[in-house]
Chains A and B, each alone.
Chain A
């Protein structure tokens, strides 16, 4: 997160990863979006290293992406179970 303070444009990757993570739980997205998701994460990792970030920063981004994705999946799963 401290890397975002010094390079605010990195926040765009976080927001994009969060949006895709939420969307995959809400709607059935075309398979091509899976490739886009992969490209997004790869671009984020490259960008982090480009601004001299470290593996901890990469890990933080990936965990954030996983957490948003899993949380939205859980919320949807919990709603379906209630029905």
Chain B
């Protein structure tokens, strides 16, 4: 079941009420059972995969803790890496690799079929695999204590709010909170409910509405125009942010009501002034995972310049591949790596140019320019991310540069973008920007016990947002707007 489904509206209140009615020592049982039910709603047989990954990583971690032999510790960590990554690689990348080999063979006239039909990608596998790996590696390094209670560990791996699309939690943040007793707290409940409302608004009102216009271009690239590709790509940039951060907001809100604080995953990424800053604000749990478990072990930036940029490119290629088993995702990752390398290499030159031209790099105008330029770079890369195939991608990029022989009005109409639709989209995006600024990520209590956001998100305003979400949901039910979350496919 997804967060924006009728089943979840029944499931979550039942779990929540039961959670606070049960004594603390039984709560992990309830949450674990609920998490497995939540997961099995997608696919019951694939539940055994997550169970397998959980059992293997837990046993290996226990052995790592109990043995003094370095060789045994290494064997256990390698076993954990091989089994967890092996399962991920098989289910996610086998058909992609097989297809690539077949295409290569076809170049030499060899015809054969290595693909496995019916091989489905287990929901959330990329997320829970990385979560188990971070636990196993941290135990191996001695950074966290081993969790001896299998139930709590299994719950850490499968905690339903963040199971299928993150945030990718770290053991030192989530495990202690799962063990801690949480009493009903009005402040947590209020903050969590507001966060969930913000998430539903972003997903249902903004992302799903924009999806209809994005799909009109990306699902039919042969009829696209240059202006259509630009508008659809900008809309996709907003759509994917609202879709993913909306999911994260709902996940964080769900957990917050139970008194559990999940890590933040977004920090207004389109306010970034550089690509490096963008990745410190976008999908923070994944970028920090890659930083700690791939970039730093490779040497990070504490090596020669060549190795530093090599490490950056490796991280972004792997990140691209993590997002999807297709060459356009790899190219997307490559682009971001290239952006960072070029940005890093040209920084001294750009600073000298600004000095010569007396440009104040701390001025508002310069800051706006940087944000716009970064947005353009990121949005161009999103074309590679969103394209349905390599052929579509080539067509879209070509259209971007040569597809300008249609009047702008006609091109916009061809997307199905009416005046009503355009005004609705602009207002919805404005609401999203304001909500991101008004619903603080961390509720800071004021001196009189109230919360800052109490002043700005009043009950009346909250009511309007609820009605807007309901109206958008009804509209989408009658149309064919997107309903699943984009990041579920990863």
User: Interface residues, chain A, CB within 8 Å of chain B?
Assistant: 1-2, 20-21, 24-25, 33-34, 37-38, 41, 55-60, 62-67, 69-71, 73-74, 76-77, 80
CB-CB contacts of B332-357 with A at 8 A, as 1s and 0s?
00000000000000000000000000
List 25 interface pairs A-B (beta carbons < 8 Å), by A numbering: A2-B418, A2-B420, A24-B458, A41-B464, A56-B475, A57-B420, A58-B471, A59-B205, A59-B468, A59-B471, A60-B420, A60-B424, A60-B427, A62-B471, A64-B427, A66-B427, A66-B431, A67-B427, A67-B434, A70-B434, A70-B435, A71-B430, A73-B455, A74-B437, A76-B455
Contact of A24 among B428, B461, B472 (CB under 8 A): B461
User: Which B-chain residue is minimally distant from A17 (CB atoms)?
Assistant: B464
* A21 / chain B contacts, CB cutoff of 8 Å: 461, 464
Given contacts A63-B468, A70-B434, A80-B455, 12 further A-B contacts (CB under 8 A): A2-B418, A55-B471, A58-B471, A59-B424, A59-B475, A60-B424, A62-B467, A62-B471, A63-B428, A70-B430, A73-B438, A76-B456
A21, A25, A59, A60 interface centre (most CB from chain B within 10 Å): A59
Chain A residues near B468: list those with CB within 8 A.
59, 62-63, 66
Inside 8 A of A76's CB, which chain B residues have their CB? 455-456
B482 at the interface (CB under 8 A from A): no
Contact across chains for B430 and A67 when beta carbons are under 8 A apart: yes
Min CB–CB distance B142 → chain A (angstroms): 43
Q: Which of chain A's residues have a CB closer than 8 A to the CB of B428?
A: 63
User: Contact: B420 with A37, CB < 8 Å?
Assistant: no
A44 CB to nearest B CB, Å: 10
Q: Does B67 contact A (CB under 8 A)?
A: no
Query: Could you give, for residues 452-490 of chain B, a 1 whenever the CB lies within 8 Å of some chain A CB and a 0 otherwise?
Result: 000111111101110110011011001000000000000
Distance from A5 Cβ to chain B, minimum over Cβ atoms (Å)? 10
The reply on B107 being an interface residue by CB < 8 A is no
Determine how close the nearest CB of chain B comes to the CB of A43; give it in whole angstroms. Answer: 13
- Complex Cα distance, B467 from A65, in Å, reads 11
CB within 8 Å for A59 and B472 given contacts A1-B423, A2-B419, A67-B431:
yes
10 tightest Cβ-Cβ pairs between the two chains A and B: A70-B434, A62-B468, A73-B456, A67-B427, A59-B471, A63-B427, A55-B475, A66-B464, A69-B461, A77-B456
Instruction: Scan B122-141; emit 1 where CB is below 8 A from any A CB, else 0.
Output: 00000000000000000000
Q: Name the one of B424, B434, B463 contacting A56, with C-beta atoms under 8 angstroms.
A: B424
Chain A residues, Cβ within 8 Å of B467: 41, 62
Are B457 and A73 touching (Cβ within 8 A)?
Answer: yes
Which one of A1, A20, A59, A77 contacts B438 once the chains associate, using CB atoms below 8 Å? A77
Cα distance A72–B421 when bound, in Å?
Answer: 23
Measured between beta carbons, the chain A residues less than 8 angstroms from B437 are 74, 77
Please classify the interface of chain B as helix (H, G, I), strand (E, B), loop, or mixed, using the class held by over half of its residues: helix
Q: Tell me, rounded to whole Å, the shortest Cβ–Cβ distance linking B212 to chain A.
A: 11
Taking a contact as CB atoms under 8 Å apart, the answer to whether B423 and A60 are in contact is yes
CB neighbours (8 Å) of A25 from chain B are 456
Which B411-457 residues have a C-beta within 8 angstroms of A? Answer: 418-421, 423-424, 427-428, 430-431, 434-435, 437-438, 455-457
B residues contacting the other copy or chain, number (CB 8 A) = 32
* Complex alpha-carbon distance, A28 and B464, angstroms: 18
Residue among A60, A62, A74 making CB contact with B456, cutoff 8 Å: A74
In the complex, are the beta carbons of A66 and B455 less than 8 A apart?
A: no
- Name the residue of chain B whose CB is nearest to the CB of A78: B437
Identify the closest chain B residue to A70 (Cβ). B434
Contact of A37 with B474 in the complex, beta carbons under 8 Å: no
Write out the residue numbers on chain B whose beta carbons fall within 8 Å of the beta carbon of A60. 420, 423-424, 427
Contacts of A57 in B (CB 8 A): 420
> What residues of A have a CB within 8 angstroms of the CB of B424 in the complex?
56, 59-60, 63
Most chain B CB within a 10 A radius of its CB, from A1, A60, A67, A76: A67
Instruction: Determine the distance from Cα of A24 to Cα of B419 in the docked complex, in whole angstroms.
Output: 29
Contacting residues, chain A, for B472 (C-beta < 8 A): 59
| Cα-based distance from A62 to B428 in the complex (angstroms) | 10
Cβ contact within 8 Å between A55 and B478: yes
User: Are A37 and B460 in contact (CB-based, < 8 A)?
Assistant: yes
Does B434 contact A71, Cβ atoms closer than 8 Å? yes
Q: Kindly list chain B residues whose C-beta atoms are within 8 Å of the C-beta of A65.
A: 464
Residues of A with C-beta under 8 A to B418: 2
The interface centre, meaning the residue of A37, A38, A56, A66 with most chain B CB atoms within 10 A of its CB, is A66
Q: Which residues of A contact B430 (CB under 8 A)?
A: 67, 70-71
> B residues within 8 A CB of A70?
430-431, 434-435, 438, 461
CA distance A56 to B209 in the complex (A): 10
Q: A24, A38, A55, A67: which contacts B474 (Cβ < 8 A)?
A: A55
Contact A74 B438 (CB under 8 A): yes
Interface residues of B in 192-247 (CB under 8 A from A): 205
CA A73 – CA B433 in complex, angstroms? Answer: 13
Which chain A positions have C-beta within 8 A of B456? 25, 73-74, 76-77
| CB-defined contacts of B474 to chain A, threshold 8 Å | 55
Partner of B464, one of A33, A62, A80: A62
For the complex, give the distance between the alpha carbons of A27 and B467 in Å.
Answer: 24
Q: How far is the CB of A4 from chain B (nearest CB, A)?
A: 10
